[in-house]
Amino acid sequence: MRLALTLASRNLFHDRLRFIATLVGIVFSVVLVMIQMGLFLGFGQMVTTMIDHATADLWVVPKGAKCFEDPSLLDARLANRVRNVDGVAGVVPLVIGFSDWRQESGEMTPVFMVGVDLREPGLQPWNIVDGTVEALSERGALAVDRSYFDRLGVNGVGSTAEIRGKRVKVAAVTDRIRSFTTTPYVFVDLKNARMYTGAPPDRASNLLVRLKQGTDPEKVAQSIRAEVGDAEVLTNGEFQSRSRSFWLFGTGAGAALFAGALLGVIVGTIIVAQTLYSSTKDHLGEFATLRAMGSSNSYIYNVIIYQGVLNAVIGFCVAAAIGLVVVEATARSALPIVITPSLMAGLSALTLIMCVISAIGAIFRVVRTDPATVFMR
Amino acid sequence: MNDAIIEAASVHKTLGAGAGQVEALRGIDLSLQRGELALLMGPSGSGKTTLLLVLGCMLTPTSGSVTICGQPTKDVDKEGLAKLRREHIGFVFQSYHLFPTLTAAQNVQLALDIRGERGRAAVKKSREALAMVGLQNKVHSLPQQLSGGEQQRVAIARAIVANPSAVLADEPTAALDGENGQAIMKILKSIAQERSRAIMVVTHDPRVVPFADRIIHIEDGRLVDANESEYKHLPKVTALKM
């Protein structure tokens, strides 16, 4: 190991209390940023979960629809025109909307209905742990997620409730299809969806378009646009991006998460800078001795930067371990924290940059040290 | 061949500014030769430390010139002065100034590390330097595990490990008892003679006088004749060689 690194590590670990205080600061900061960004990613994934699980290459949506949950409706008869466009393999109308769920006990709770023609691939419930998709075609049949059992007052397949005065029965149970809002998703057949949301028979929320293999989605989208008038035609990626940007930035939620992350970075930088400065001040005599011995400024900067880097590496490892525990703990929550390898890589770089920037104050202090002071003590 | 390692000519140094301005050095002419051990003696406030700092490239003269191994220090920036120190001068400080978290060997090795000398060769050199000052069995000891005399010997090993042309020592025996002080001076003397280095020792300690090849007296920022010095009573004081 290089002696400068040895000196840096010994300086750092010599005062254990200060080292622990520095670590706590870094860990607090990195965990805060990690959680904020993990929430951001988790939120970003959750708001597009329906689009992600749809078997669609293109979406025909009402003009100006901001997200999957947008309640605007379009003319369902457009589906026939779209079907005739060259390159289109199938079109499935989708009806979504809010409705009221009345438990057996009489308690009411809002639900978000998702209805498609279940005979065709489009948007069917996934992660089914009890019951079948086929059973949903029966009148009054629906699928709910088991994480909402308490909220909906049900306990599995066969449980009953009422929607808009109509008796409904749980025919399938899913796992981990959670809404990022407090409103549970309820999957039903297209006809039932119209009944429960009040959508007219000639209206649909969106059209899910499947393309024939080997066709160019952009080219087909262009052809569909010519057929659907005011309605918009979006690729899967465009619809995901639009939904994500609406929920994350249109609502201010993303900005709040970013602000929290920024706060974490600022707090962390200040804490590390303060402790590095104080550590450097305590070792000024040693740095003056090094300078008197003829050490270059860059050698001394290296010692200080090594201290910052050591802080970063150790702090990040502890923070990463805490982050993994948080990920595990929130995996089944309403808003899971998602930490991806790229987020980890970004955070490690951020921690390193934060700690190196923090060393600047200490470096400025050392630059002002006069080596002649060694002879005065 | 010129044996002068450090040369000072008409060196003046003014410290401070305004009403607090002090002329610390007033026309110093001095030459420090290869192979000699010179003592720099004088009362407190006479300019000893300022002269040491100027000769050691930590201060530049206000006027006059200093050359280190033929290289003038005039108009050299701080990094340039550090380079001159790194390449030509070893320092021994009164309070040792060892790094408390590093072992004796690492303290010595640090002087090589700042010169870019690393690896096994550097480890070997630092152990040899410690052996030369009689501390071959203390390489892994931390400074607080060593006595004052041993710490000063580590400091000497650190000062000589990179083979500098000159060693400047500031009161190296001041914090030591008589026996340890003698041991330190013997080591410095042997470095001057056997390694042909120029050694200058700033001291108040009359016990070190027998080790000197030359005593340089300074009073009120001027070099003075031995007979004018308050140390004229000391034994074996040789005439000022210029």
pLDDT at B110 over 60: yes
Give which of A143, A195, A146 is closest to A171, Cα–Cα.
A143
The per-residue pLDDT for B237 is 44
Residue A26 pLDDT class (50, 70, 90 cuts) = confident
Structural contact between residues A282 and A28, judged by C-beta atoms closer than 8 angstroms: no
Distance from CA of A244 to the nearest CA of B (A): 54
CB contact under 8 A, B113 and A286: no
Mutate to test the interface with A, among B51, B53, B79, B103 (most CBs of A within 10 A): B53
Nearest to B82 among A14, A291, A377 (CB): A291
- Calculate the average pLDDT of chain A: 89
pLDDT at B74 over 50: yes
Domain coordinates in residue numbering, chain A? 3-46+252-376, 63-230
Answer yes or no: is the ipTM higher than 0.95: no
What top-level class would CATH report for the domain B4-228? Answer: alpha beta
pLDDT digits (tens, 9 = 90+) for A128-164: 999 988 888 888 999 999 989 999 999 989 999 999 8
pLDDT at A309 over 70: yes
pLDDT at B234 over 70: no
pLDDT digits (tens, 9 = 90+) for A157-196: 999 999 988 999 999 999 988 887 779 999 999 988 998 9
CB contact under 8 A, B102 and A297: no
Residue B233 pLDDT class (50, 70, 90 cuts) = low
Domain coordinates in residue numbering, chain B? 4-228
Q: What token pair was written down for B72?
A: 């003038």
pLDDT at B32 over 50: yes
Distance from CA of B171 to the nearest CA of A (A): 10
CB pairs under 8 A between A and B: 84
pLDDT at B235 over 60: no
Residue A377 pLDDT class (50, 70, 90 cuts) = low
Q: Looking at the complex, does the CB of residue A304 fall below 8 Å from at least one CB of chain B? A: no
Q: Looking at the complex, does the CB of residue A285 fall below 8 Å from at least one CB of chain B? A: yes
- Which chain A residues are within 8 Å of B101, Cβ to Cβ? 7, 10-11, 14
Structural contact between residues B99 and B108, judged by C-beta atoms closer than 8 angstroms: no
Q: What token pair was written down for B229?
A: 């010095």
CB contact under 8 A, B158 and A10: no
DSSP for A68-128, written as a single string: TT----EETTHHHHHHTSTTEEEEEEEEEEEEEEE-TTS-EEEEEEEEE-TTSSSS---SE
Whole-number Å distance between alpha carbons of A101 and A154: 11
Residue B238 pLDDT class (50, 70, 90 cuts) = very low
* Structural element, H or E, at residue B101: none
